[in-house]
Amino acid sequence: MTRTLRSTLLGFAAAFISVAAFAQAAPKPEVTDIRYQGWATQVTFPELAEDLGYIAPLKLKWVGNTISGPQDVQSVATGEIDIGGAFNGAILKLIAAKAPIKPVLGHYGIDDKNYHGFFVLDNSPIKSARDFIGKKVGVNTLGAHIEFTLREYLTRNGLTPDEIKQVTLVALPPVNTEQALRQGQIDVAALFSVLRDKAVERGGVRAVFTDYELFGKFTAGTYVLNEKFIKANPNATHLLVTGVARAIDWAQTQPVEVVRARFEKIIVARQRNEDTSSLKYWKSTGIANKGGVVEDKELQIWIDWLAKDGVIKPGQLKASQTYTNAFNDYAKKPPVVAAK
């Protein structure tokens, strides 16, 4: 028996025992169906939590896929889905606009394995921030993580607001961004995770900078719930949030090959005609804190940025009031222990 297989079998057995004990102690949830949007060829942490048995008797109801964090959380705000995740800057803009959403735990993050790179062709003249002036940058969506990161890079390197306005952002489906770069339709491609690694593997591109170089390791986005959902369903909220937090902990602590195998199992089982070959590039959750616990600093950095940019008024938002860890047992002392 290989070490990986032995680790997997022991993990399944421990998970069964842990989940059974947790289910006996958990209050009955007010609802059972949790609506969400997926990401093509990717496994979300709610999906992982359901597969591990961490949110039973809750059941996920897939309503389609999204390619944009802002669209995902906007759907939570309008009540079309129950849980969604996005970049914290985009979430804070919605909260400032009185959207009834509340961040409850980490969604994704940045580390030395999991980062956004701003890539150009090897023969591109773009080598520094000033070279971005007058150029086109391919991004997945406007007003989200990539735009904030790019503007922070340009600002730190001395570009004025008027010069930054001369950098054109082109919204493209993530799967098409590399091709657009190679065909000369854009000058810079913002690439993340699997799409980044595939582009590097094919060669002919180089990164001008990355968000990890700018910010270091940090949780960049959070999962949100609608405040009305939280108020009406506190038991279900606790079960969902802590269950997803346990799934995050599981992915943070299991060997990479075990996580990849579990993701492949989930993608195959959901039968959405997806290619699982990209899973070999998965390396890390990127989430900084155990179980996705949220910290003030993860939101304050973007509150300060939004205020500096004139999007919100200074003092309009206080980081500690924009989110809650109340439903995440990992924020308690001692925290919950996930099955290993």
Supply the pTM of this predicted model. Answer: 0.82
SS3 275: coil
Tell me the residue type at 195. Answer: L
**Residue 13 confidence (pLDDT):** 52
Report phi then psi at 120, rounded to 5.
-130, 165
Domains defined along the chain, listed by start: 3-109+218-331 (3.40.190.10), 116-215 (3.40.190.10)
For 189, the token pair is: 């491609």
**Residue 27 confidence (pLDDT):** 84
> Running along the chain, 340 residues long, what does each successive block of 10 average in pLDDT?
53 50 68 93 93 96 88 95 94 95 95 92 97 96 86 95 96 91 97 88 96 91 97 97 97 95 94 86 90 95 89 93 97 63
Question: Are the beta carbons of 291 and 338 closer than 8 angstroms?
Answer: yes
Query: Dihedral, CA atoms, 91, 92, 95, 96, nearest 10 degrees?
Result: -140
Interacting residues of 269 by C-beta distance below 8 A, sequence separation 6+: 51
